[in-house]
Amino acid sequence: MEPQDFRDIIYSKDETGVVTLTFNTPARKNALSAVTFLELFYAAEHFQADDSAHAMILTGAKDPKSDDPSKEAFSSGGYFNPDAFEGLPPEVLADIDMSDVAQKRATLKFYACDKPIIAAINGLAIGGAVTLCLAAADQIYLSEHAWLQLPFAKLGLAAELGSTFFLPRLLGFQRAKELLFFPERISASEAVELGIANKVVPHGELLSYAHEKVLQLIPPQGPALSIRAMKRCLHEPHMDALSEALDLENAALAKTMATEDFAEGMMARIERRAPVFKGK
């Protein structure tokens, strides 16, 4: 799959070699389907292999129907509606592993990438969208209007995308459990205080700030070989542990998705009410 084949994301490269990867399904608040993650896998693969691509910025598309920056979405998390698969060629459908709910393939591909990546979170970021940034991005910058949430427990689900690997290492086990077990909203400033993100930026300056910072990591301003070498040294010792965590998450997701509690969690989300769980 090549970037021109993507339909859920936009892959664009400027004259400086900076790739901007944009989640581009604003009608569903840029929610991430299995198709989106397939495209993300190939985007990361293409980016790493392209010698003229030096760095990447991740962001979300603005809703063309709204001018309110406080309503923007980076990504609203997982998208499970089967309409995500409509119109796909058979070879693309065959390439999607529906058992990989934790998205091990895409997560490991991004984590193994040694080129610098910055996430510019322009609005709400929920669930796997948060953890994707922890796996993929070397720096995370937030709009002043952004907020984060890890709502897996509200849905009766286990966590995904290496959440159980990254969060304890960033926050410690007790705080990681707090965020996963009690899924409250995390404001942009709280995310920086926790150590999940690096900086809060005025909304209108977010992308330009991310571009300014990423240019400092590539020639002529930045020593790309040094940056990439340090990134490999930081990431490679943890690849096996991340892979094992993703396997455990996939097993836990398979179990929790077969429960009545998951069905109740999803229905409560659709009906915009508090779930009533049975422990079944």
Q: What is the mean predicted confidence (pLDDT) over 50-71?
A: 94
CA dist., res. 95 & res. 113, Å (int): 21
Domains and CATH numbers, the chain: 3-204+216-271 (3.90.226.10)
pLDDT tens-digit map of 135-157:
999 999 999 999 999 999 999 99
Dihedral angle at the C-alpha atoms of 227, 233, 235, 241, nearest 10 degrees?
180
Q: What is the DSSP letter of 78?
A: B
Return the axis-axis angle of helices 128-136 and 104-112, rounded to nearest 10°.
30
* Residue 226 dihedral angles phi and psi, to the nearest 5°: -65, -45
Amino acid at 255: K
Beta-sheet strand order (sheet of 139-143):
9-13, 18-23, 55-60, 117-121, 139-143, 199-201
Q: What is the mean predicted confidence (pLDDT) over 246-262?
A: 97
Collect all residues with Cβ–Cβ distance below 8 Å to 115 and sequence separation of at least 6. Answer: 47, 48, 53, 54, 55, 56, 224, 228, 231
User: Do β-strands 147-149 and 124-126 pair in parallel, antiparallel, or remain unpaired?
Assistant: parallel
CA-wise closest residue to 76 among 22, 153, 148, 6: 148
pLDDT score for 153: 96
pLDDT tens-digit map of 41-57:
999 999 999 999 999 99
CA dist., res. 151 & res. 132, Å (int): 15
Structure tokens of 111? 């984590």
CA-wise closest residue to 88 among 5, 207, 163, 193: 5
Q: Is the pLDDT of residue 65 over 90?
A: no
pLDDT tens-digit map of 185-196:
999 999 999 999
Q: For the chain, give the percent of residues with pLDDT over 70.
A: 100
Q: pLDDT category, 241, cuts 50, 70, 90?
A: very high
The answer to whether residues 20 and 54 touch, using CB atoms and an 8 Å cutoff, is no
Q: pLDDT category, 67, cuts 50, 70, 90?
A: confident
The DSSP H or E segment spanning 255 is helix 239-256
pTM as predicted? 0.94
